Amino acid sequence: MELILASSSPRRSHLLSKAGILFRTISPDVDELSAESNPELPPHELAKINARMKAEAVAESHPNSLVLAADTVVYCSGQVLGKPLDPQDAERMLTLLSGNTHEVITGVIWLNHSANSVKEFIGRTWVTFKPLNAQQIRDYISKVPVMDKAGSYALQDRGDEIVERIEGSRTNVIGLPMEPVQQWWAQDCQSRN
């Protein structure tokens, strides 16, 4: 039984490869829910629902495969920060994060249709940003491709320039908390042997 990562994220692929997990990727064709159009949803529910939609979209056409999907949101001062709309939106997000502690939330779904099994996990990590001035924020945006990243930053890409402290899983901040994923992979491998 093969594992499919329902994502086009190179960061998630890198984390799985680094852990020695064999998989292939399929980018799910779904319209994700946004915090703006669903303000009643808590951030962890938003991430979980989006991850579930991605997993189910891929599993529909690959029912005999294991499907792994994730969705990450950044939550700061009562606001859910997804991917920025444009560079000005990225500046707005980084200004909000500057000098503050925020929560990175990743919903993870491990779907096995043939066993009628769904495993869910919500990763939570607290990240404290250094105080940043407007020039530092513009410099960061000019050096790091932030447009496809929740909260407009990447821990693995010049993160030391902006992040002061992390409490919790670093891989969660990158986009895929590996602790449950490795456990699920090991369990599935043992069940097949």
- Show which residues are catalytic: 71
Report how far residue 117's alpha carbon sits from residue 188's, in angstroms, rounded to the nearest whole number: 11
Report how far residue 103's alpha carbon sits from residue 79's, in angstroms, rounded to the nearest whole number: 10
- Residue 88: other Cβ atoms inside 10 A: 10
Those residues with Cβ within 8 angstroms of residue 180's Cβ, 6 or more apart along the chain or in another chain: 108, 110, 119, 121, 123
Name the residue type at position 111.
Answer: L
- Residue 92: other Cβ atoms inside 10 A: 16
Report how far residue 178's alpha carbon sits from residue 182's, in angstroms, rounded to the nearest whole number: 6
